[in-house]
């Protein structure tokens, strides 16, 4: 009885469209000619503008317009039904669409007067494990939707969730600005998304038992099967390898965060800043601490706990002390202490709303926009007036520089911080 209940509830064959109609529809949507190509170009312009002005709503609108899902689902269907001509058609049109998209966005970012990389754009330069998971699950939803008799709004939703267009626009930005890291990272994200949508489409097609294409000549059929197998291996093996690297990096960063949070729980010693660096060969945790110095045996004990957090082989660097060799920024320490004092005073007086100010993660943006900045702190500073009892609080940004920064870049930094942190006034200290 229970088996029958689940079988009926989760039956994907219900409302399944005619197989020939599905194949014809997907095949038609995998071609970029005429109107489809112009729609893609206009959607790329809209997405580029959205990334340029950091508007999430505009980016979502562009993804709704974009027809990029067509050839990707076509490739997955072609693999599933042994139709090499459909695989080749989908691959060729996807390549054409990607090249035109990159060229269009590069043209826009070359001509626009706004050249700063905003957070929406920077988010598309480094894929995470969540991007892989969303692409796979989103591809499943999209494949199910295109095989239904009644069409719904699933495909536009999948296009938004998997975010195929913004990475191509980011690649265009990298090309226009000469930043090859942005270009490579964005193409990496687009490749991962496309491959996993193809894989999920293939799995749904085989689950629904779509008829495979047969040829009168068995030799031709075997040759086509070999071509498809070679194409699948050529794309899937690198993508799985790359996805594995993304997973390992995410696991490392989560473990490192937990390690610092749980192990460095001292009454008189506080972690001021932390940096995690991951690579397949070696990883590193770099910490700056203030307060009571940790002794050599204590540090050895801390290093011994790395294995408890699956961080074996990770290099742990603890920078402490107030001597010149420690490379510690005194203004950073001062800002951290002032923030702690301000929070305690505010909590004691009951003004929690003023004390707790959520600060966005801006490390990657700062590294990309202002490479001269080596480290920074962001805190609330209290200014006490000597002639009155009035106190003011001001958001203070303190940065340690690798070298010097000119006045125009300093002004640009101040204006960017005001816009990024939604502050009318911000105190910027550079050292």
pLDDT band at 40 (very low <50, low <70, confident <90, very high): confident
Answer yes or no: is pLDDT of 343 > 70: no
DSSP 326-346: G---HHHHHHHHHHHHHHHHH
pLDDT number for residue 325: 43
Answer yes or no: is pLDDT of 80 > 70: yes
Averaged pLDDT for residues 94-122: 81
Averaged pLDDT for residues 52-78: 82
Question: Mean pLDDT: which of 143-157, 220-234, 400-414 is highest?
Answer: 400-414
- Is 191 within 8 Å of 241 (Cβ atoms)? no
Position with higher pLDDT, 379 vs 217: 379
CA–CA dist 53, 45 (Å, integer)? 12
Least confident of 92-106, 331-345, 361-375: 331-345
- Is 394 within 8 Å of 427 (Cβ atoms)? yes
Answer yes or no: is pLDDT of 226 > 60: yes
Position with higher pLDDT, 344 vs 89: 89
pLDDT band at 103 (very low <50, low <70, confident <90, very high): very high
Least confident of 193-207, 285-299, 403-417: 403-417
CA–CA dist 262, 278 (Å, integer)? 20
- Is 163 within 8 Å of 124 (Cβ atoms)? yes
- Is 44 within 8 Å of 101 (Cβ atoms)? yes
CA torsion sign for 262, 267, 268, 272 is positive
Nearest to 127 by CA among 90, 164, 155: 164
pLDDT number for residue 307: 86
Half-sphere exposure of 426 (CA within 13 A, CB side): 24
Answer yes or no: is pLDDT of 217 > 70: no
- Is 130 within 8 Å of 60 (Cβ atoms)? no
- Is 211 within 8 Å of 81 (Cβ atoms)? yes
Q: What is the pLDDT of residues 4-36, one digit of tens each?
A: 766 677 777 777 778 888 888 888 888 888 888
What secondary structure letter does DSSP report for 273? E
Averaged pLDDT for residues 289-305: 85
Torsion of CA 170, 174, 179, 182, to 10 degrees: 20
Nearest to 222 by CA among 233, 212, 211, 236: 212
CA–CA dist 144, 148 (Å, integer)? 7
Averaged pLDDT for residues 287-297: 82
pLDDT number for residue 323: 38
Residue with tokens 């202002």: 370
Averaged pLDDT for residues 272-290: 83
pTM of the predicted model, to two decimals?
A: 0.58
Q: What is the CA radius of gyration of the chain?
A: 27
pLDDT, the chain, mean: 77
pLDDT band at 48 (very low <50, low <70, confident <90, very high): confident
Q: What is the pLDDT of residues 179-198, one digit of tens each?
A: 888 888 888 888 888 888 88
């Amino acid at each position: 009885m229970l088996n029958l209940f689940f079988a009926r509830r989760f039956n994907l064959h219900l409302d399944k469209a005619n197989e020939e109609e599905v194949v014809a529809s997907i095949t038609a949507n995998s071609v970029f000619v005429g109107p489809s190509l112009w729609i893609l170009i206009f959607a790329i312009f809209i997405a580029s503008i959205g990334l340029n002005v950091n508007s999430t709503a505009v980016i979502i609108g562009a993804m709704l317009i974009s027809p990029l899902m067509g050839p990707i689902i076509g490739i997955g269907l072609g693999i599933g039904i042994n139709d090499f001509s459909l695989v080749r058609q989908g691959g060729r049109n996807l390549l054409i669409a990607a090249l035109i998209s990159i060229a269009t966005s590069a043209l826009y970012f070359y001509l626009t007067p706004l050249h700063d990389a905003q957070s929406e754009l920077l988010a598309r330069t480094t894929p995470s494990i969540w991007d892989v998971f969303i692409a796979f699950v989103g591809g499943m939803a999209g494949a199910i939707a295109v095989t239904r008799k009644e069409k719904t709004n699933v495909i536009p939703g999948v296009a938004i969730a998997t975010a195929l267009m913004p990475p191509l626009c980011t690649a265009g930005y990298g090309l226009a600005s000469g930043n090859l890291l942005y270009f490579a990272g964005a193409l990496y994200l687009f490749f991962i998304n496309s491959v996993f949508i193809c894989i999920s489409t293939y799995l749904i097609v085989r689950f629904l038992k779509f008829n495979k294409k047969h040829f009168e000549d068995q030799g031709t059929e075997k040759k086509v099967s070999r071509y498809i197998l070679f194409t699948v291996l050529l794309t899937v093996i690198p993508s799985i390898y790359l996805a594995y690297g993304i997973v390992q990096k995410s696991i490392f960063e989560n473990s490192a965060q937990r390690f610092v949070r749980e192990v460095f729980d001292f009454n008189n010693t506080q972690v001021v800043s932390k940096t995690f660096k991951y690579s397949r060969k070696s990883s590193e945790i770099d910490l700056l601490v203030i307060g009571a110095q940790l002794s050599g045996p204590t540090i050895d004990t801390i290093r011994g706990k790395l294995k408890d957090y699956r961080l074996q082989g990770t290099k742990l660097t603890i920078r402490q002390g107030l001597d010149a060799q420690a490379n510690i920024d005194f203004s950073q320490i001062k800002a951290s202490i002032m923030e702690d004092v301000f929070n305690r005073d505010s909590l004691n007086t009951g003004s929690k709303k003023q004390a707790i100010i959520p600060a966005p993660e801006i490390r990657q943006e700062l590294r990309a926009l202002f490479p001269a900045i080596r480290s920074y702190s962001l805190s609330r500073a209290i200014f006490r007036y000597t002639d009155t009892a009035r106190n003011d609080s001001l958001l203070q940004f303190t940065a340690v520089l690798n070298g010097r920064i000119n006045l125009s870049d300093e002004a640009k930094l101040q204006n960017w911080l005001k816009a990024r942190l939604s502050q009318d006034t911000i105190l910027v200290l550079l050292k």
